[in-house]
Amino acid sequence: MVTYTPSARDIEHRWYVVDADGMVLGRMASEVARLLRGKHKPIFTPNLDTGDNVIVVNASKVSMTASKAEKLFHYTHSGYPGGLRSYRYSDLLKSNPEEVVRMAVRGMLPKGRLGRRQLGKLHVYRGGEHPHQAQKPESLELSHVKVVRP
């Protein structure tokens, strides 16, 4: 039996737009990471970049469940003694929501060269507009990811 491996000419990279308005951060990030990796395609190969380009709009309207935005912290360290800084996710969502979405997706991609290449196909924007109309992106509805409020 011969194992099929796609070549570069077999891989088609499409463009998708995901509207993050009212979505849960982690659930949206896992779906976006799945699209970036190409796991939704029948030609998925773990060691090749078979994924698509994803545009995330309205990143400022993403939410976190169970008051995690107030409870959780993001930590950075400069490498020097006393260089540890902590930032509350609620503050990060107000000041830089694009980076919060990017960090969430980055943690769900493979580590190394392939993951960095796949992360390069993620485009996150705070508002509802994006400059990628020339690529003719398809709108992708992730209705199972939205927050249902009673």
CB 115 within 8 A of CB 102: no
How far is it, in rounded angstroms, from Cα 77 to Cα 93? 20
> What pLDDT was estimated at residue 65?
87
The contacts of residue 92 (CB under 8 Å, 6+ apart) are: 74, 99, 100
How far is it, in rounded angstroms, from Cα 138 to Cα 44? 20
How far is it, in rounded angstroms, from Cα 76 to Cα 87? 8
What values do phi and psi take at 17, rounded to 5?
-115, 125
Per-residue model confidence as pLDDT tens for the chain (150 residues): 888 888 888 899 999 999 999 899 999 999 999 999 999 999 999 999 999 999 999 999 999 988 899 999 999 999 999 999 999 999 999 999 999 999 999 999 999 999 999 999 999 999 999 999 999 999 988 877 666 554
Copy the structure tokens of residue 75: 């930590």
User: What is the pTM assigned to this prediction?
Assistant: 0.89
> What pLDDT was estimated at residue 147?
65
Q: Domain residues of the chain, as ranges?
A: 15-63+96-142
The contacts of residue 37 (CB under 8 Å, 6+ apart) are: 44, 50, 51, 109, 110, 118
How far is it, in rounded angstroms, from Cα 57 to Cα 59? 5
> What pLDDT was estimated at residue 61?
92
> What pLDDT was estimated at residue 150?
44
CATH of domain 15-63+96-142: 3.90.1180.10
Length of the chain: 150
